[in-house]
Structure 1
């Protein structure tokens, strides 16, 4: 059931942690491992930590240059974080994340969970492409977890949730979920449209788009719904271009 769950290690510093993460993937039934721009990667140092059992996961892991490449084709991306507050709202615990991931996978999606560098984690810019964030509650004495520890905790909850019951298709197949690339295209179109009707502020539109992004992160947006919203945006832009933003009693 976790065949379409992808573990993404973003700029990990230590090859040993990559090997341990591969072993954690095997333990929890995950075969897709992607490593983004690793620092000083050394397969000889990583292999012993993967053990002979998870060797195939480590050696078949994709190594890419960017986060965008790592999540290509995914319909949802969830980032891990130890920092909360500020822009980082609605953060889930691993159990809650597992329920969301299970729902996305059972409807035909591919989900990525992104783990940041050991020393500083994911930045705000990197989390901006995420559908949601997850944090692992810890004692206040030390909130830092080893990378592989974090991977196994999150994957354990996903694995446990996947055992709750078999997936039994009911009725005709649903429209496929949208990919992250499609969602970003929609957000870009929405932002331009909301600026055109003076709904967003010109000074920092990316900031004012955050509530819109959070709203859509709660929805397993399907391709037909994506087409509908893109069409609405096109029609609104056509109307504004022809009549202006105040036509028909527009935003003040």
Structure 2
């Protein structure tokens, strides 16, 4: 399991992070047109939850094969990995949160999806001119990014933090503005908001695309957000 992946500063183009896709890949294409995305120079990072609930989750392998896209593992990718396909209750739970596309897929396809999801890191760190930017699906589970990064070096310990990194809504729901002091910004998704929301330097860019709302991306050099859709 890859727990943390680091990227050097992009000196050729723009770096963007996109919110929870949930299979809304058509909306992603519209967003890429809106931001004039340059496949030769730009990079697109994702906060995870690429799949489930939306119209084209099965296209995720094509998306992950793109050389300019990088994603952390969201809770929905984790559920696909953890679902016991021999247990009816486990499958019923996954179906209830939008996993029917996966459960209907042939075994070879399921194996390919799981391999792709297992290869996704829990966290990404991107160097920028003004300081590092962290990306996780839900939240940084420790007070500083440095503590979190060091902990992730030990996979046994990292597993203990995985659930909070992928599932926690505590910061957003409590309006906790303490932020992460050793990052320029932490970009997260997981908790849908009507518009991008910043609490300290933690920015939630899940604007609920799969629920008929907008899909949002944030540009890392100036932290400007752009949304398309409702």
When normalised by structure 2's length, the TM-score is 0.30
TM-score scaled by length of structure 1:
0.28
Higher relative contact order (CA 8 A, sep 6+): 2
Q: Which structure's residues are more often helix, by fraction?
A: 1
Bigger strand share: 2
